[in-house]
Amino acid sequence: MSIPLKLLFEEIHQAENENSLRSHLAPKIGEYFAAKRSGIFFFDQILADKNLQKVLKVALSVEHNPVARYLTERHTPVHEGLVTSPKAWAIVCPRPDHWHVMAGPIVSHGQLVGVVGCTRDKSMPAFDTQNLADLSGICLHLSAWTATTRSHADVSVREAYSGRSGNTGKIQHPLFRSNLLTARELQIAELVSLGRTNAEIGNELWIAENSVKQALKRMFRKLGVSSRAEMVAQLYAERIAV
């Protein structure tokens, strides 16, 4: 383990966004645990990426994966040896580079919002209790960072909408940006992210509720999504990737 655990903690709290965690921190976590593969996954980003949706449906499936089920129920790190036998695991996950798997939770406001994962191949030793203890510390810092960062983002949305300079009802500093959506559609998207209903959005933007409904249909088509949650997740992922 060439990287001090304390250094990983410091890098987590110095990260600028979730994309930075995935691209820069995940490989260092993999190095720390001598893993064949490593990754940091946020569920809203998976929903916004059609290629990654397969990961959520299969690799992170509660129905098919006992590691994912344990993680979801307990919000604590786990490796495959805690929840199943080697023979059963080979059926659940036949990939040779996933012979040993360890995963930990990223929690924000009591909800599981992401996962840290490391894998080793058959020739490598299994993860042990010390690995779980170290991953628990990493997940604690990741969860604190995520909860703080997302809380600040929520406040930014509310302050941007209120304007703070006279409460004009116009978004002064847009949270979302997209080349596919118009300025009005982005206003609607940001109000959707605040949990507003179609009627409430119509009232705040001085347009008919049906106009909001039709605008959302157009926005879904443009973005290639099928729900409000997917739309917000995709726009949020695009924002933090900038």
pLDDT tens across 71-111, in order?
989 999 999 999 999 999 998 888 888 999 999 999 987 88
**Beta 111-120 vs 37-42: how paired, if at all?**
antiparallel
- The correct CATH number of 174-241 out of 1.10.10.10, 1.20.1050.10, 1.20.1530.20, 3.40.50.620 is 1.10.10.10
Cβ-proximal residues to 107 (8 Å cutoff; 6+ apart), any chain: 75, 113, 139, 143, 146, 147
Question: Which residues, other chains included, contact 182 with Cβ-Cβ below 8 Å and sequence gap of 6+?
Answer: none
- Worst-scoring range by mean pLDDT, 1-5, 154-158, 194-198? 154-158
CB of 68 within 8 A of CB of 83?
Answer: no
Span 13-50, pLDDT tens digits: 888 888 888 889 999 999 999 999 999 988 776 665 56
The predicted-structure confidence for 122-141, as pLDDT tens digits, reads as follows 999 999 999 999 999 999 99
Q: Residue 160: what pLDDT?
A: 54
Long-range contact list for 146-150, CB < 8 A, 24+ apart?
146/18, 146/42, 146/106, 146/107, 146/108, 146/113, 146/114, 147/107, 147/108, 147/109, 149/17, 149/18, 150/108, 150/113
Structure tokens at 211: 């106009």
pLDDT digits (tens, 9 = 90+) for 100-112: 999 999 998 788 8
The length of the chain is: 242
Rg (CA), the chain: 20
Per-residue DSSP letter, 17: S
- Considering the entire predicted model, what is its pTM? 0.65
Over residues 177-234, the pLDDT tens digits come to 778 888 888 889 888 887 788 888 888 888 888 999 999 999 999 998 888 888 887 8
Residue 79 is predicted with a pLDDT of 97
Return the sign of the alpha-carbon dihedral for residues 75, 92, 29, 132.
positive
Say how far apart CA 55 and CA 64 lie, in whole Å. 12
Q: Where are the domains of the chain?
A: 5-151, 174-241
Assess contact for 115 and 139: CB atoms under 8 A: no
- In CATH, the number for domain 5-151 is 3.30.450.40
pLDDT at 240 (0 to 100): 56
Query: In terms of DSSP bridges, do strands 78-79 and 100-108 run parallel, antiparallel, or are they unpaired?
Result: antiparallel
